[in-house]
Structure 1
Amino acid sequence: MWRLSILRVCGGTVTLIVTLAAAGLFLAGCAGLGRSGDLSTLDIATRFLPMPATVPHADSLQNVQLQEDDGRLVLESELSFGHLWQRWSSGYRVERGTDLFEAGRMRSFATLWSRELRLKQFDQRTSVGAYAREEAEREIASRVDAPHAESIVIDVHVYIDRRNRSSYGATSLRSAGWTIFLRTDDGDEYQPESIDATWAQPINWSGNERAHYRQNTLRFERVNDDGEDILHDTSTLELHIRDSVASTDKLFGWRFDDMPE
């Protein structure tokens, strides 16, 4: 198990990029890892994101395709990594209490790391076509499919107004004040197995829009105590984040518009 943090500039804004062992490959908090001009974390934070996000099933490859070309596999997609990242990101709804998860136009969001998003990120860093077909299949199986079958990984990108004196610490979901669980459409609830968090960073958008930003990575075991796959026959996922101190409840969500056969 390994972990690497890299400081990177995204669209003029300092952001941390984190490579996470929990996800088994290169999960980035900044699309600047990809091609120049792709979406950054701040781009996504300042765009409208639906809640829930309507997406294909987390196991599907609807937006990316693996094709064979001259004995090698090639990943094809009409979407850049940044736009696919945005598609798998959910805005939030305040269920109770005061909304602290925003600073001007910067709003917190959560990204569900689906199989296709993991595969697209793997191809960004190490082109699938650089391998012979058999080696590419082994790399995808070990670095994409195996960790995807083991865990559900959600990145929560938290922005809190710096005028809030507790904003620096409040961006971390590792503190004891937060209650976090994932709920499926059958009502079952699951607590994260682990939470990783980057250092909080000061972010300036425009004028007086200033925030502390932190990426929090939640990892949930995909197989429950009964040996059942949490995502099997699941059509919706809800991520609940509750602050017992401030008595607030934030809800992120994903609705799968197709189910694997």
Structure 2
Amino acid sequence: MKRKIVTVCLAAVLVIIAVAGASLAYLTDTDERTNTFTVGDVDITLIEQRKGANGLESYGEGSYKLKPGKSNDGNAVSKIVTVKNNGTEDAYVWVELRIPAYLVSNEYKAEPHTNESKNALHWNSYGCFNVEYNSGNYWRLAVSDGIVDADHKVTDANMVAVEDGLWYDYEYVGTEDGGNTVVIRTKMKDVLPAGKTSLPALAQVYMDWRVTKTADGYKLPDGTEIAKDASWKIDVRAYAIQADGINGIDAAIAAFADNGK
């Protein structure tokens, strides 16, 4: 019997805007949700929000500028990605980002795929929601964004408790489109119960401070030069498969692949 599976895709478009006479590049961020597939009672929604003046708000159709800098410079674009299980069955879920390969350095593409220092585009999770970092003091951003309160408890009654919803850190999966797209993945360690929303799988993205403007485009931290009209489009995709009969998230991903999706 075919397993019940679902994929949701969210496309976030990042476009460079050249600034005359400046050495900095700027990004405009817009969001478009596309391609929702459902089978049986497995039904998920990929939700993207940002921190607003009065709490979390939908991305909507606005523009969000980003200039080169560091994650703590205030230049990061808030991109709070969660997955809601609308179905009647518990499910294993994971989220993938698809990024133009030139925004990811050769150092990161090489084994062991951990050196992100020369990437042109950086992505941040909430450390407190990662399996690898949950025991450390990484709560500041999650508290500031209103995801958890001062006691580190989730503020949304529909969201899974922190201890039940941890994600593994993003890992390099490989490339697609003839090497032109890099795929990275984060996996929820435990099952997402029916009716519940996951902890955020992503917190923010930002452009590296070493991206500079050239006569014909932009120079990236690893020395790569790209054209002014080069794409900065990022696809965010969520996947789910029924938990019943599957032993763990890695087995879930393998079963999903076996279904030809």
TM-score, normalised relative to structure 2: 0.31
TM-score of the superposition, structure 1-length normalised? 0.31
Higher helix fraction (1 or 2): 1
